[in-house]
Amino acid sequence: MSRKSLRGAVLVAVLGLGLSAPAFAQQTLEGIPLVWKPTNRKDAGVVNLGELLNVKIQVQAFVDTRSARAKFGENQEKAVPKPVTTSGNVAEFCTQNFRTALKQYGLSVVPDGGDIVVGGEILEFMVIETNTYKGEVRLKLTVNRGGKTEWAGVTSGTSSRWGRSYKAENYYETISDSLLEATTNVIRDEGFRKALLPK
C-alpha cells in the first residue's frame, strides 16, 4: 500500500470513529418518556362484581413518595450501574393506567362526583436488570367515602422477562406488567371490594 493510500485509510478510520462516537454516547436511557406497553392481560379470574357495577369510583391523582422520582430502572450487569430515568410523570402514568385497568375489569370510573374515592401513593416503581429484567410496583391505596377511610392497604405486582440488554422496550413492558398485576391483585382483595360496596 502506498503512503498516500495508507493516509487515506487512516483518515477514513478516524472519521468513522468520529461518526460512531456520538452514536455510542447516545446509548443511554436517561430522560426517556414513559410508555404503557403491557405484554399480556392479567386476569383477575371470576370475580363477582354484583353491586359494584353500580358504584361510581373516583380515582384521585396518585402521589409519588419515592425519593428519586425520575428513576424507574437500573442496569446492573456491570460494576458501574446504568440508570433508567424518565422525562415523564410517574404519578400521572400510574393514575391513568390504574383507572384504565379498573374500567377494563368492568368497574365504573368517573372523573368526579364518585360514590367512593380511591387515593394512592407510589411506594415502589422500579425495574432492575441483571441477566433478566425484574420489575416491582407497590401502591398504598385508600378507599374513602364521605371523607371517612373505609379501607387502606398495600398492593404490589411483579414481572420478569428475558430481553436484549439495556433496551427501553423491555423496561416499558416489565414496568407495565408490574403495574397491571398490582391493579389485578387489589381487585382480588376482598377487603378492597367490600369497601366499595354501597352502605
**Domain edges within the chain:** 29-196
DSSP letters of 93-154? HHHHHHHHHHHHTT-EEESSS-SEEEEEEEEEEEEEESSSEEEEEEEEEEEEETTEEEEEEE
Give residue 98's pLDDT.
Answer: 98
Give residue 51's pLDDT.
Answer: 85
The rounded distance, in Å, linking the Cα atoms of 23 and 128 is 25
Give residue 49's pLDDT.
Answer: 77
In this prediction, the residues of the chain whose per-residue pLDDT falls under 70 are 1-26, 41-47
Give residue 173's pLDDT.
Answer: 98
Give residue 46's pLDDT.
Answer: 58
What is 29-196's CATH number, 3.30.930.10, 3.30.43.10, 3.40.50.10610, 3.30.200.20?
3.40.50.10610
pLDDT tens digits along 34-73: 999 999 765 555 567 788 989 999 999 999 999 999 999 9
Give residue 23's pLDDT.
Answer: 42
